[in-house]
Amino acid sequence: MRNLNIKDTFTKELPADPLLENTRRQVENACFSYVTPKKTSNPELLHVSPEMLENLGISQKEAKSKAFLNVFTGNSVLPNTKPYAMCYGGHQFGNWAGQLGDGRAINLAEIVHNNTRWAIQLKGAGHTPYSRTADGLAVLRSSIREYLCSEAMFHLGVPTTRALSLALSGDQVLRDVLYNGNPEYEKGAIVCRVAPSFLRFGNFEILTAREDFKTLKTLTDYTIKHFFSHLGTPSKETYLAFFNDVAQRTLDMIIHWQRVGFVHGVMNTDNMSILGLTIDYGPYGWLEGFDFGWTPNTTDRQHKRYRYGNQPNIGLWNLYKLANALFPLIDDVKALETVLDTYKTNFERDSLKMMRSKLGLEMQDAFDASLIKDLEANLQLTETDMTLFFRKLSDFNSEKGADGLEIVKEAFYIPTEITLEVHQKWNSWFQKYAERLAQEETTSEARKATMNAINPKYVLRNYMAQLAIDAADKGDYQLIDDLFQLLKNPYSEQPENEKWFAKRPDWARYKVGCSMLSCSS
Ligand code: AMP
Ligand code: MG
């Protein structure tokens, strides 16, 4: 890996914590602390993403070397680099939580390849000054989930951080999965994740909370210079335009989540990327039954703050917090409010556009909003698999007088719940849909192709990740690769993989890891 083009900017251009000891503490007047990853006892690579190797300019041969294993499990540090953990704060479940920071993520370096900047970061490589009372480690189950899902999201076309490698540390990690006082040892693991930047809303919030406006300006100028350079030189207007860009990117990301049925699970402001990337894959989940009220996160079971249907609102709530954080630089409440209001109107516009595209509607009709509303209501009458429903829907050919319900019947979890009343509601919806399709100018075949490029056939259903985890716990890593390959082409027909285009099996309905997850990872 001698040819890696290392070009650090974060540590060179931003203020560092002068203390070099790795002790838990409040870090002020700084954006990060230098920290060295913990040595692992017996690291073993389980998977490497070929696409990310290529993006970083690392060859397949190098990926098999001892040096690669050592660097990406934290046992050695790349020459001329100084790993570090970032300082950030955040609002967790609606409340200001003070300093959080990279408690178990350690940034290794920035690499520029093919004119793209990538920050590389190890998750689970030991404690940092920001670890508070926790150990800085990650377990295999959560690492498999992050590794597979972040790459799957990329291939679905959803803005996301990426993953380069998944490795076992060889160390044991103690976790209380159910928070019931029965902790158990699990296999420790390290994911190397990659993104142009891992900056979060919380990196800005912590500085304003501490009234450190000097560092706030330095960090914002840095962010604009490297990631929003089209906005030009810093000024009040540029800062406002920056906030506006972040708002639009956040909205775009969330609309994609709604399109594919992804529920993040912990949309705290420390988990909101300033670049609008999906970040921090924890207790996330995929909708099986379409349900606006669903959350995968057991910690959020009571209030369901981060439920599927609430994600767009939470995006807005989080942007209010970012607006407060940037206010000292912009000093214009009205202008900030206008951006937030625009988010609301753009959300209406963009979500309608997205739902139209899921239905294969290219023209615009004033009644589309009510057609969509009726569909969403119908989808929640009985448990209806979102992925199966939309994928099968592309087979509906109104010209041939097709029976819509028959076409999507695979999507219903409990067929006996399709009572006469439910049946009638669906028939009436399909009739309206058929009439609406009649206004379209494209052929059924063309519509099917466009719909299938928007409605994925394969997503990382919660039980699929769990199967890979259960096998990996027993030392069998094949399914990790099988799912990795499957999810590279989520929109394609893959006849040999038809078994993954199916409803969640019954055994997975209430199993931990499949329908419910905690933050304990
Ligand atoms: P999360 O809700 O997973 O995004 O984490 C919130 C905060 O807790 C972040 O500052 C994390 O770095 C930190 N954190 C989570 N798990 C650990 C851990 N095992 N060790 C140290 N810090 C952690
Ligand atoms: Mg986090």
For residues 9 and 16, what is the distance between their CA atoms, to the nearest angstrom? 12
For residues 219 and 242, what is the distance between their CA atoms, to the nearest angstrom? 13
- Specify the residue with its C-alpha closest to ligand 1, atom 18: 136
C-alpha separations of 370 from 83, 289, 318 in Å: 53, 21, 29
Decide if pLDDT at 520 tops 70. Answer: no
Map tokens 């906005």 to a residue: 231
Query: Which residues are marked as active site?
Result: 270
Average of pLDDT values for 328-338? 98
For residues 228 and 326, what is the distance between their CA atoms, to the nearest angstrom? 15
Proximal ligand: closest to the CA of 97: 1
The amino acid at 90: G
Residue 315 Cα to ligand 2 middle (Å): 15
Q: Is 122 helix (H, G, I), strand (E, B) or coil?
A: strand
**Res. 511 pLDDT band, cuts 50 70 90:** confident
Average of pLDDT values for 107-129? 97
For residues 223 and 243, what is the distance between their CA atoms, to the nearest angstrom? 11
Q: Which residues' Cβ are closer than 6 Å to ligand 1? A: 100-104, 130-131, 134-137, 266, 270-271, 280, 282, 519
Decide if pLDDT at 516 tops 80. Answer: no
User: Does the predicted model carry a pTM greater than 0.95?
Assistant: yes
Average of pLDDT values for 250-279? 98
Chain segment 214-234, per-residue pLDDT in tens = 999 999 999 999 999 999 999
Q: Which long-range contacts (CB under 8 A, 24 or more apart) does 219-223 make?
A: 219/14, 219/31, 220/326, 220/329, 222/9, 222/10, 222/13, 222/14, 223/197, 223/199, 223/274
Q: Which residues contact 55 (CB under 8 A, 6 or more apart)?
A: 113, 114, 116, 118, 162, 194
Chain segment 63-101, per-residue pLDDT in tens = 999 999 999 999 999 999 999 999 999 999 999 999 999
For residues 215 and 89, what is the distance between their CA atoms, to the nearest angstrom? 14
Enumerate the β-bridge partners of residue 184: 175
For residues 287 and 289, what is the distance between their CA atoms, to the nearest angstrom? 6
What is the pLDDT of the chain when averaged over all its residues? 96
Q: Is 98 helix (H, G, I), strand (E, B) or coil?
A: strand
Decide if pLDDT at 521 tops 90. Answer: no
Q: What percent of the chain has pLDDT over 90?
A: 93
Decide if pLDDT at 352 tops 70. Answer: yes
H or E, element range at 201: helix 201-209
Q: What percent of the chain has pLDDT over 70?
A: 100
Q: Is 288 helix (H, G, I), strand (E, B) or coil?
A: coil
Q: Which long-range contacts (CB under 8 A, 24 or more apart) does 494-497 make?
A: 494/457, 494/458, 497/458
How much is the pLDDT for 514?
81
The residue to mutate among 22, 86, 130, having the most atoms of ligand 1 within 8 angstroms of its beta carbon, is 130
C-alpha separations of 207 from 31, 84, 191, 318, 407 in Å: 9, 18, 29, 16, 55
For residues 240 and 219, what is the distance between their CA atoms, to the nearest angstrom? 15
Q: Is 506 helix (H, G, I), strand (E, B) or coil?
A: helix
- Specify the residue with its C-alpha closest to ligand 1, atom 13: 103
User: Are 163 and 153 within 8 A, CB to CB?
Assistant: no
Average of pLDDT values for 13-32? 98
Map tokens 């929003």 to a residue: 228
**Res. 177 pLDDT band, cuts 50 70 90:** confident
Residue 79 Cα to ligand 1 middle (Å): 28
How much is the pLDDT for 1?
76
User: Are 284 and 306 within 8 A, CB to CB?
Assistant: no
The amino acid at 519: C
Which of 192, 185, 161 has the alpha carbon at shortest distance from 284?
A: 161
For residues 161 and 151, what is the distance between their CA atoms, to the nearest angstrom? 8
Proximal ligand: closest to the CA of 161: 2
How much is the pLDDT for 180?
83
Atom of ligand 1 nearest to the CA of 282: 3
